[in-house]
Amino acid sequence: MKRNSRLSLALHTLSHMAGDPDHVRTSVDIADHAGTNPVVVRRVLGRLREAGLLISEKGHAGGWRLARSPNLITLADVYLALDESLVATEKDEHSPTCSVEHALHRRVSSVMKEIEQSLIERLSETTISEVRGE
C-alpha cells in the first residue's frame, strides 16, 4: 500500500464516524471500507484511543466510536495523536560533526519547527464534521 497512509486512514475513518456518531464500527468493517487490514486499523486507531479521541470496546458487540462530539475534534488533534510529522524532521545522529554542519542544522531545524507549528494551526481550524461538507 502507499506510504504514510496512517493519517489518511485515521481521518477517513473519523470523518465517516462524524456522519453517524452513534454507530459502533468493528475493525473489520473499517478495514473493508478503507481497503486494508483489521490489525492495521486497530494499530492506527489505537493511537487515537490513547489520545482520547476514540473509544474501543472489546467483546461480542464491541467496536469503535468517537469519544466526543465530532465538532470538537480537529484535524490537528488527529495529526498530533499520530505523532506523524508530515514535515520531515532532520534526524540528527552523528554527534561529531563540523561547525558548519551544526550551524546549518540549527538554522534548518528552526525553520522546520516554525513550519510544523503553522501546519498545526491551520489543521486546527477544521473539525472532522466540517470537512465532510466542504
Partner DNA sequence: ACATAACGTAACTTTACTAGTTGCGTTAAT
Partner DNA sequence: ATTAACGCAACTAGTAAAGTTACGTTATGT
- Give the bridge partners for 64, in sequence order: 25, 56
Nearest residue (CB) to DNA, 1 versus 103: 1
Q: Are 78 and 48 in contact (CB under 8 A)?
A: yes
Contacting a second copy within 91-120 (CB under 8 A): 91, 93-94, 98, 100-101, 103-104, 106-108, 111-112, 114-115, 118-119
Q: Which of the listed partners (DNA, a second copy, none) does 28 bind, with a CB threshold of 5 to 8 Å by partner kind?
A: DNA
Among 45, 75, 81, 82, binds a second copy (CB under 8 A): 75
Q: Which of the listed partners (DNA, a second copy, none) does 11 bind, with a CB threshold of 5 to 8 Å by partner kind?
A: a second copy
Using alpha carbons, select from 85, 1, 87, 11 the residue that is nearest to residue 45: 11
Is 79 a residue that touches DNA (CB under 7 A)? no
Among 12, 37, 87, 120, binds DNA (CB under 7 A): 37
Grid look-up 467483546 returns 59
**Cβ burial, residue 130 (10 Å; 0-12/13-18/19+):** middle
